[in-house]
Structure 1
Amino acid sequence: MEAETLPSDRIQRAIEELELQKALITNCAIQWKTLSDHYSSLKKTLAERAESLDSKLDALESETKQALDSIERRESSLPERESSAAGFIAERRDSVVDEMESQEDKLPGDLQGFLSWYCRRMDSAALWRFMVSRRKELAALRREISGAVAQSLDPPRLVLDAIEDFLSQPDAIVAGGGCERCWAVGMLVWSLLESEGRKASQVASSIRERAASVAKSWLAKHEEKKGNGDIEEGGTGEGGKEETESPEGRTFLQMVVAFGLRSMFEDEFLIKMVVQNASRKEVAKLAVGLEFGEKMEVSCFDTELYDIINNLVKKGKEIEAFYFVHESGLTEKFSPIDLLKSYLQNSRKNASAILKNRNHSMAAAEESNNLEMNALKSITKCVEIYKLEDKFGLGSIRKRLSQLEKAKSERKKSQASQKPQIKRPPPTRGTPSFPPSKAIRIPHMPSATYSRNPSLGPQNPPASRQPFNYVGQATYDSHPSVPYGAPPSHGRSSSMTPSYNTYYGGVPYGGQPINYGAYEYPPPPPQPHYQP
C-alpha cells in the first residue's frame, strides 16, 4: 500500500507545480501584452503630435510668408496711398474753404444739411451743441450722424475735439448739467464704430495717445466731482454696493473701443463699468469690442465674460445677460431659453411679493401690474428680435399681457368713477345765480371797515336782523344807509381798500342791485388790532 501511495503523491505534486508555472506564464503574457499596447499607444500619440507640429510649422511658415508679402506690398504702396490721401484731403479742404468763402453760400434748411455743414467745417463745438438743441429729433439724428461724420476731413479728430470741448464745460459731469447732454457726445463716438460696435476704426497713433490723455483726465475729473458730492450716486444693489449707471459711463466705454484704448486700462475697472451699464443693449456689443469673449481665443477673456454674465444673473438681470450671451456667441454654454424662463419666474415672484407686503392695496396692485407687464414685454421683445418662437412660445405670454392691460384699464375706470364730480349749474340767460351772501363774511376774511387803529364802538347785537344790500360792481354798502367808503359810525375811516368783485356774488357791471332778505348772523369776529 505504501508503494502504491508514494507514486500518486508525486504525481499530484508535479501537477500542482505545472499549474503554478502555467499561471506564471499566463500572467507574464498578460503583462507583456499590456506593456506592448501602452508602448504602441505612446508611439502613435508621439507620431500624431509630430505630424501636428509639422503641419503647424508649415502653416506658420505660410502665414509668415504671407505677412511678409503683405508688409512688402503695403510698404511699396505707401507713397501712392500717401499721395492719394494728401490729394483727397487737399480736395476736401479746398471745397470746404470755397464753401465758407463763397458769398452765395447759405445755411442749410434741414437737419442733414446742418450736420454735414458742421462736419465739413470740422466745427466740433458747434456740432454737438446743435445736436443738443435738436434733441426732439433724436431718431433723425441717429440716422444721419454717421454719414455726416464720414464727410469730415478727419472723423476721429472731429469726435475727439467734441469730447474735449464737452469736458471743458464747468458742468460737464455734474448731475443735472453736462450729464443731460452727454448723449450727444456718445452718439458722435458711436458713429466711429464699425459693425455695430464690434470693431474700432483706424485711428492714428497721435490721435490715440491724445484720446488716452482725454479719457484719463475725464476719469480724474469724475472722481474729483464724486468726492466733492457734485455727482449723485445711483441705487444700491445687492450686498450694499452702489451701482452708478450713467450716460457718461457708456460714453467712456464707447470711447475706449472707438479709439483702441483697451490696453491702457485695467481689466477689473472695465468689467466693473460694463456690469454697471449693462442695462443698455449696446454695452453687450461694446463688451465684445473690448475683447471680452471666446472670439479672442484667450482663456482670461473667457473667464472675464463668464464672470460678467454670472454676475448679471445673480443680480436678477437675466435680460441683460441674455443680450450678452447672444452678442458674444456663448449660446451653447449659457442657454438663452433658461435665462428667459428664470427672468419670467423671478418677475412673477417679485410681483407677488409686492402685493403680499403691502396688503394688496390699490397702489401695490398698480405697481405689481406694471412690473409684470414690463417683464412680459421685455421677454416678448427678446424672443421676436432673435427669432426664438419655436423654442419659447409666446401664446401664454401674450394672453397674460392682454389680461394685465385689461385689468389696468378697468382699474383706471373704477378710480375715475369713484372721484367726486363737481356739478356745474347750466348756463342761464339774464341774471346769473350767485352763492349765498354769507360767503363774504367768513371769519378769515377782513372786514371792509377795519382800520389800522380802530376804536371799539357800539356793535349790533348778535340776534339783530339787518338787511343786506348787494349792489353792482362799483358800490358795496356795509350799512343800509351808509355808502361804501364812508366812515363808520363808531370809528375812524378805513385805511384798507376792500377788493371784493363779482367773484363773491356781484351782478354784471352796471346791473341792478339785488336785495337779499334779512339773515341772522352769528356774532362778528373780534376786531383785529393793527399797529401803525
Structure 2
Amino acid sequence: MTTELAIETERTQKFFNDLDAQKAILSSCTQLFTTLTTHFKSLNNSLALKSQSLESKFQSLESNSQLTLETLCCREKSIPERESAAASKVEEQRETALLEFRDSHSFDNLSDSLKSLCRRMDSSGLLRFVVSKRKESVFLRAEISRAIMEAVDPARLILDAVDELVRDKVGKVGVTDKRWACGILVQALFPEGSCFGRKDKGPEFARSVVERAAGILENWKEEERCRGEG
C-alpha cells in the first residue's frame, strides 16, 4: 500500500513537472511571438515610411522634370527672337562703330569719349584714356559701365586691354597705372549686384571668352612669378 502511494505521488509530481515545463515553453513561445510581431510591425512601418518618401521624391522629380522641360521649351521657342534681337543690336552697334571711324574726332565730354572708344573697340586707346583720367576716377567709374555696353563685344574689348597689359614688359613705365585702369575696366563688366556674394545674376559669357580669360590670367600669374624671382 505504501509502495503504491509512493508511485502515485511520483507520477503526480512528474505530471506537475511536465505541466510546468509545458507552461514555460508556452510562455517562451508567447514572448517570442510578441517580439516577432513587434519587430515585423516596426519593419512594416519603416518600409511604409521609406515607400512614402520614395513616392514623394518621385513626384518631386517628375514635377521638376516637367518644369525643366517647360523651361527648355520656352527657351527654345525664344531662341529665334533672341537671335534676331542680338543680330539687330550687333548690326546697330557695327553701324555706329563705322560712323565713329568715318567721323573720328575728339570729344570734350568724358562720357562721349569713352563711348566712342568702346564703339570702335579701341582697347589700347581706351586703356590710355582711362589712365589719363585717373584723377577723375569717381566720375570715370560711374560712366565706364554704360560706355562699355556700347561696344560690339564688351568682353573682348576688356580682354584685349588686359592682354595688352600682360604682354607689356615688367619694367615698362606706366604699368602700374595700366593695372589700375584694367581693374576699373574689369569691374565695369560686372553689375554691382552680382559681386561680393549678392544674389543678383551676373553677366554670362561664351566658353571661348572664359577660356581666353583663364589663359590671360595664367600669363599674368607667370609674369608676376618671374617678376618675383627677378
TM-score, normalized by the shorter chain, greater than 0.5: yes
- Classify 1:9/1:65 alpha carbon distance in 2 versus 1 (closer, same or farther; 3 Å): same
The one-letter code sitting in structure 2 at the alignment partner of 1:192 is L
Q: CA deviation at 1:108?
A: 3.2
Distance in 2 (alpha carbons) for counterparts of 1:125 and 1:149: 14
What pairs up with 1:521-532 in 2 under 5 angstroms? Answer: none
Q: Please list the CA deviations of residues 145-192 of structure 1 after superposition, one character each: whole Å capped at 9, or x if unmatched.
A: 323322322221122111111111112xx7x97356423323322333
The one-letter code sitting in structure 1 at the alignment partner of 2:185 is L
Residues 1:189 and 2:190 aligned together: no
Distance in 1 (alpha carbons) for counterparts of 2:180 and 2:13: 101
The one of 206, 209, 214 equivalent to 1:212 is: 214
Distance in 2 (alpha carbons) for counterparts of 1:82 and 1:183: 36
The one-letter code sitting in structure 2 at the alignment partner of 1:166 is L
Q: CA deviation at 1:124?
A: 1.9
- Classify 1:97/1:33 alpha carbon distance in 2 versus 1 (closer, same or farther; 3 Å): same
Q: Please list the CA deviations of residues 178-234 of structure 1 after superposition, one character each: whole Å capped at 9, or x if unmatched.
A: 3564233233223333533255522123323322332333333333334xx23xxxx
Structure 1: tracts of 5 or more residues without a match: 231-532
Distance in 1 (alpha carbons) for counterparts of 2:16 and 2:177: 102
List structure 1 segments (4+ residues) > 4 angstroms apart after TM superposition: 5-24
What pairs up with 1:59-458 in 2 under 5 angstroms? Answer: 59-102=60-103, 106-110=106-110, 112-171=111-170, 178=175, 181-194=178-191, 195-197=193-195, 198=197, 199-226=201-228, 229-230=229-230
Distance in 2 (alpha carbons) for counterparts of 1:117 and 1:207: 23
Residues paired across the two proteins, number: 221
- Classify 1:179/1:45 alpha carbon distance in 2 versus 1 (closer, same or farther; 3 Å): farther
| Contact 1:192–1:200 (Cα < 8 Å) also in 2 | no
Distance in 2 (alpha carbons) for counterparts of 1:185 and 1:116: 17
Distance in 2 (alpha carbons) for counterparts of 1:19 and 1:133: 109
Distance in 2 (alpha carbons) for counterparts of 1:166 and 1:75: 40
Larger radius of gyration: 1
| Contact 2:145–2:188 (Cα < 8 Å) also in 1 | yes
The one-letter code sitting in structure 2 at the alignment partner of 1:117 is S
RMSD: 3.5
Q: CA deviation at 1:94?
A: 1.6
- Classify 1:94/1:17 alpha carbon distance in 2 versus 1 (closer, same or farther; 3 Å): same
Provide the residue aligned with 1:56 in structure 2: 57
Distance in 1 (alpha carbons) for counterparts of 2:159 and 2:65: 36
- Classify 1:148/1:12 alpha carbon distance in 2 versus 1 (closer, same or farther; 3 Å): farther
SS state at 1:183 partner: helix
Provide the residue aligned with 2:43 in structure 1: 42
- Classify 1:37/1:148 alpha carbon distance in 2 versus 1 (closer, same or farther; 3 Å): farther
Identity, in percent, stands at 35
SS state at 1:193 partner: coil
Q: Please list the CA deviations of residues 468-505 of structure 1 after superposition, one character each: whole Å capped at 9, or x if unmatched.
A: xxxxxxxxxxxxxxxxxxxxxxxxxxxxxxxxxxxxxx
Q: CA deviation at 1:84?
A: 1.8
Distance in 2 (alpha carbons) for counterparts of 1:29 and 1:182: 86
Distance in 2 (alpha carbons) for counterparts of 1:139 and 1:31: 84
Q: Please list the CA deviations of residues 315-366 of structure 1 after superposition, one character each: whole Å capped at 9, or x if unmatched.
A: xxxxxxxxxxxxxxxxxxxxxxxxxxxxxxxxxxxxxxxxxxxxxxxxxxxx
Distance in 2 (alpha carbons) for counterparts of 1:28 and 1:140: 91
SS state at 2:152 partner: coil
Quick check: which one's helix share is greater?
2
- TM-score normalised to the size of structure 1? 0.36
Q: CA deviation at 1:107?
A: 0.6
- Classify 1:149/1:11 alpha carbon distance in 2 versus 1 (closer, same or farther; 3 Å): farther
- TM-score normalised to the size of structure 2? 0.74
